[in-house]
Amino acid sequence: MQGRPRAIASAGLRWILDFLPRNRLGDAAFSAVIFAAHHFRLPRWRRPVTFNDHLFAMKQRGELDDPLRRRVTDKHAVKAYIRQVLGPGYSLETLALLTTAAEIQAFRPETLPCIVKPTHLSGHVILIEDRDQPLDRRRMAAWLELSHYDWSREANYKGLPPAVMAEEYFVDAAGGVPQDFKVFCIAGRAKFVQVIQDRFGATTKSLYARDWNKLPFRISYPAEGLVPRPDCLGEMLELAERLAAPFSFIRVDFLLADGRLKIGELTNLPENALGIFMPKDYDRRLGRLFADPRLEIEAVLEA
């Protein structure tokens, strides 16, 4: 029963914080309090030390206001950026883009299975597998009224045009869920890879260095078992670095099925700088990758 009082306290705190103004000063106060509630300390953003400090500093410096960061945050607009940098074939096909409640009511998916998700939010998705499946149009229409910026104060979401996108459901030949690889890039260099397993069930997230040695820490989620090195690892890292070139930090999220790579999205601020490192000291160790981007992750694991 300990989790329920904490949840109530967290909800009460967020209700109070929602009264802070939607501007740089209000966003800074909101983000600092939420950071402290998760990490039990205030963020050090002027002289960042930990990995999360450096992510938080991106918010405080106003870096997330960059128009390019807003462009790659939008789950539909990012596809044009991916085509611009890498050429065609790496983005998932958009089947429909719905911008009004009327368009949502009239929507009938022609290609199944497909994924439906808002382009301007994070963490919302509906899988449509067959024509007899009822569509939750009320939920889809409600997405148009939501703002992820209001919830997280991540400035890259501020002002994104609300839309609901139907997208191809990328699967392997047997219809299985593809493997999910997330490449963390600092100063345009791929530093490490997070592998998501069973993302629609008992999710685990393991971390690997560029040479595919498993790393001795995890971030927020359990890490179980060993994942075989993907044959296309070199290509994945090279593509990620091309996309990451303009950014001080970004995460490039790949899907892999039957040797085919697709890029799902680009993530500016993983977990809103609230990810919990286990063991905790690795948050500090990985902060050195920002302080000296020439370092590879192996160099910071021992210090």
Task: Tell me if 79 is assigned to some domain.
Answer: no
Q: Are residues 107 and 134 in the same domain?
A: yes
Per-residue pLDDT reduced to its tens digit, 52-73 = 999 999 999 999 999 999 999 9
Q: Is residue 87 part of a domain?
A: no
pLDDT value of position 2: 39
- Is the full-model pTM beyond 0.75? yes
Q: Give the pLDDT confidence of 219-228 residue by residue, as tens digits.
A: 988 777 788 9
Shared-domain flag, residues 180 and 294? yes
Q: Which domain holds residue 45?
A: 3-64
> Where residue 261 falls among pLDDT bands split at 50, 70, 90?
very high
Torsion, Cα of 82, 50, 33, 194 (10° steps)? 40
pLDDT exceeds 80 at position 14: no
Q: To 5 degrees, how large is the angle CA 81–CA 183–CA 301?
A: 145
**Gap between the Cα atoms of 112 and 171, Å rounded:** 12
Q: What is the pLDDT of residue 8?
A: 43
Q: What's the chain's length in residues?
A: 303
**Would you say residue 18 has pLDDT above 90?**
no
> 191 in a domain, yes or no?
yes
Instruction: Please tell me the predicted confidence (pLDDT) of residue 297.
Output: 96
For 282-301, how does the pLDDT look when each residue is reduced to its tens digit (9 = 90+)?
Answer: 999 999 999 999 999 999 98
Residue 71: inside a domain, yes or no? Answer: no
Q: What's the pLDDT score for residue 46? A: 94
Residue 160 lies in a domain: yes
In this prediction, residue 302 has a pLDDT band, given cuts at 50, 70 and 90, of confident
Examine the pLDDT at 11 and tell me if it is beyond 70.
Answer: no
Answer yes or no: do 222 and 201 share one domain: yes
What domain count does the chain have?
Answer: 3
pLDDT in tens, 130-182: 888 999 999 999 999 999 999 999 999 999 999 999 999 998 877 778 889 99
Share of the chain above pLDDT 70, in %: 94
Quick: pLDDT tens for 176-220.
Answer: 788 899 999 999 999 999 998 766 566 778 999 999 999 999 998
What mean pLDDT is reported for the chain?
Answer: 92
CATH number at residue 256: 3.30.470
In a domain, 109, yes or no: yes
- Asked if pLDDT for residue 43 goes beyond 90, the answer is yes
**Residues 155 and 62 sit within 8 Å (Cβ to Cβ):** yes
Residue 70 lies in a domain: no
For residue 64, which of 189, 148, 153 has the smallest C-alpha distance? Answer: 153
Which residue, of 168, 185, 204, is where some domain finishes?
Answer: 168
In a domain, 88, yes or no: no
Q: Give the residues across from 184 on adjacent strands.
A: 192, 251
